[in-house]
Chain A
Amino acid sequence: GESVGLHLPTLSVQEGDNSIINCAYSNSASDYFIWYKQESGKGPQFIIDIRSNMDKRQGQRVTVLLNKTVKHLSLQIAATQPGDSAVYFCAENTGTASKLTFGTGTRLQVTL
């Protein structure tokens, strides 16, 4: 799997701004993608998912965009709040129920 050691990519945004977290996935056969949020000391928490027959899906304050041509996924968070501070992971599923391959996480820091 991917490894970035102890130094995760970090995105710093001001409270109220929009955040965009990007993810490049590896397997062109993947057809289901999920974004997870992980706070310190907790397990990953589901945010939003998207299937490969879609290129955009919206939730509450979050939007996921999928570009299969370049194997790229993004998570947009509107009006970022301090509670959004966490590590965000994208995950892909290549066809077996519940076997997810997680990408490199991104740490989101929200400044006041």
Chain B
Amino acid sequence: DAGVTQSPTHLIKTRGQQVTLRCSPKSGHDTVSWYQQALGQGPQFIFQYYEEEERQRGNFPDRFSGHQFPNYSSELNVNALLLGDSALYLCASSLGGRFEKLFFGSGTQLSVL
């Protein structure tokens, strides 16, 4: 049973470009959350998708958007990339309940030059 899978593992972009990151949740999970982890810091919540809708959003600008597909997989899109967007982007999946455990993927390392 595969866990949470993310692609690509590494990505290099230049300022102003757009990027799409992908996530497949753990089998049986219907909720996907995205986190940004800057070097040396803890992950920060970007948003969460459930039933193909954004259910909750953290303190991130509208340049960050997402999507969830009927098979529960998800994409994170970032427009007009800034140098400060360089980070590890983590996808976590879970069942939708309040106390359900989050299972994290290994992340996509994004470098913006």
Contacts and interface: CB of A to CB of B under 8 A. Distances in A.
Interface in A65-105: 89, 91, 93, 95-105
A43 B56 contact: no
B69 to A, nearest CB: 18
Given A1-B41, A5-B40, A41 B106 contact: yes
B4 A43 contact: yes
B104 interface: yes
Interface in B29-54: 31, 33, 38-45, 48
- Do most interface residues of chain A lie in helix, strand or loop, or is the interface mixed? loop
A44 B48 contact: no
- Do most interface residues of chain B lie in helix, strand or loop, or is the interface mixed? loop
Contacts of A43: 4, 90, 92, 104-107
A3 B36 CA distance: 13
A95 B99 CA distance: 10
Contacts of B105: 43
A104 B90 CA distance: 17
A43 B42 CA distance: 11
B82 interface: no
A100 B92 CA distance: 11
B106 A2 contact: no
Given A43-B90, A43-B106, A43-B107, A97 B97 contact: yes
Interface centre among A43, A93, A95 (most CB of B within 10 A): A43
A99 B33 CA distance: 8
Given A6-B40, A44-B43, A96 B107 contact: no
A6 B98 contact: no
